Amino acid sequence: MIQIKNIPVEKTYTVRLNVLRPHQSISDCQYDGDTDELTKHFGAYLDNKLIGIVSIYKSKIKHIDDKNCWQIRAMAIIKNIRKKGYASSLLKVAETYALKNGANYIWCNARISAIGFYEKHNYKLYGDEFNVKDIGPHYIMIKDCFVD
């Protein structure tokens, strides 16, 4: 059975490196805002092994004049156990945390391969495709917390 736990940021680095940034360094896996007071990091554990992560940050989104925006970042599940609902469980915990803190919007920079996942969770494309250096094409996706 999967367990989702609040974890220190340092526990996210290995998964970030192996899944999201395999051709980079561990320092590239340390993001601005990682240690902010309201930032939370969650880990999914299966048989006491960390198999997935997500981080959530209070972070404004360009062109939306709302002070209560939250960003999903570093959503990752190790490769050999994807498509079993673990990412959805992590996303739900992160969203719940943001909503308890008054989120009006939750957003992310989604890789092209993750667009369908976020659409399934009521996120909408926002703006044009852009490139993240050394990673590839992304879209901003946003969830309006006032709409179901």
The residue-averaged pLDDT of 32-53 equals 95
Q: Can you give the pTM of this predicted structure?
A: 0.91
* Cα dihedral value 74, 75, 80, 83, nearest 10: -160
Q: What CATH class does 2-144 carry?
A: alpha beta
- The domain locations on the chain are 2-144
Q: Does the pLDDT at position 20 exceed 70?
A: yes
Whether residue 7 contacts residue 42, with contact meaning beta carbons closer than 8 Å, is answered with yes
Whole-number average pLDDT of the chain: 89
Position 27 scores a pLDDT of: 77
CA distance 16 to 29: 6
Position 53 scores a pLDDT of: 97
Q: Does the pLDDT at position 148 exceed 60?
A: no
Q: What confidence tens digit (pLDDT) does each residue in 54-100 have?
A: 999 999 887 777 778 999 999 999 988 878 889 999 999 999 999 99
Beta bridge partners of 64: none
Q: Does the pLDDT at position 134 exceed 70?
A: yes
Position 61 scores a pLDDT of: 83
Whether residue 57 contacts residue 33, with contact meaning beta carbons closer than 8 Å, is answered with yes
